Amino acid sequence: MSDQISTVFQAGLAQLGLADSEHIVNAFLRYRQELLDWNTRFNLTAIKDPEEVLTKHFLDSLSLLQIYDTQEPVRILDIGSGAGFPGIPLKIVRPQWRVTLIEATGKKITFLQHMVDTLQLENVEVLHGRAEDIAHQPKYRGHFDMVTARAVSALPALLECCAPFCRKGGALVLPKKGDMADEIARGRRAGGLVGTHLKADQPVTLPDLTDGRRLLLWIQEKPSPTLYPRSWALLTKKPLP
């Protein structure tokens, strides 16, 4: 495998103003190496092509910066982080952010902690459990400046899951793919129920990622509903993912 980053990934970093940092590039190369190595044993991700790891995992995660970015030491939550997306790439390029990763699967938690240790990432908390259970803990409820979740659920359930963690005035940034009209309509109804409104909906414009990828920004208008969490099934009529 090449120990170099591709021109496409480099162009993406440059578009985000990140290309000059050797430290950042080395961190992503190490992350890719560990991910592909662990993937042969633990099946952490369906993406096995080294170039696609750079674009469809790393760059796609960093695309969130196109709708939410700050130099402040904000508190960020990534729900259903899997092998670390989008939380770890964001932490690599925004080291001042305080990042919490929630993941339900034990083997993925082991990998997440391994990556945090390997990349020597400070102020990253890795939580093993289901988001709807962790949302009961006062320490995490209404605590975060930004909450995100990639490829975890459809919008109505996702909003109900994310909103309780977000402080008043905080942001829910949800990366999505494909035709979203129907899902956004259902998301607006669910968002209203949990005290959020859709503020922005914009396409991702990074190289190799213009295939219908979008970023949706919901703002938390009021403190999280005290009745949460109800069953996700109440909104989705479906079992948990």
Using CB under 6 A as the criterion, which residues of the chain lie in contact with ligand SAM when the complex forms? 79-83, 85, 102-105, 108, 130-132, 150-152, 241
CB of 45 to ligand SAM, least distance (A): 6
Distance (Å, whole) CA 195 – CA 153:
19
Q: Which is nearer to ligand SAM, 131 or 163 (CB)?
A: 131
CB of 22 to ligand SAM, least distance (A): 26
Taken in order 89, 69, 96, 195, the sign of the CA dihedral is: negative
CB of 80 to ligand SAM, least distance (A): 3
Name residues whose C-beta falls within 8 Å of residue 103's C-beta, 6 or more positions apart in sequence: 80, 81, 82, 109, 112, 126, 127, 128
Annotated binding residue 186: no
Q: Which is nearer to ligand SAM, 21 or 231 (CB)?
A: 231
Annotated binding residue 178: no
CB of 20 to ligand SAM, least distance (A): 27
Distance (Å, whole) CA 200 – CA 165:
20
Q: Which is nearer to ligand SAM, 19 or 121 (CB)?
A: 121
Annotated binding residue 195: no
What token pair was written down for 15? Answer: 């578009």
Annotated binding residue 51: no
CB of 46 to ligand SAM, least distance (A): 9
What token pair was written down for 17? Answer: 């103003």
CA distances from 172 to 211, 238, 241 (A): 22, 22, 19
Paired sense of beta strands 144-148 and 166-176, if any: parallel
Q: Which is nearer to ligand SAM, 5 or 101 (CB)?
A: 101
Annotated binding residue 22: no
- Nearest alpha carbon to residue 67 among 90, 45, 91, 85: 90
Annotated binding residue 103: yes
Question: Binding site residues for S-adenosyl-L-methionine, as ranges?
Answer: 80, 85, 103-105, 131-132, 150
Residues flagged as binding site: 80, 85, 103-105, 131-132, 150
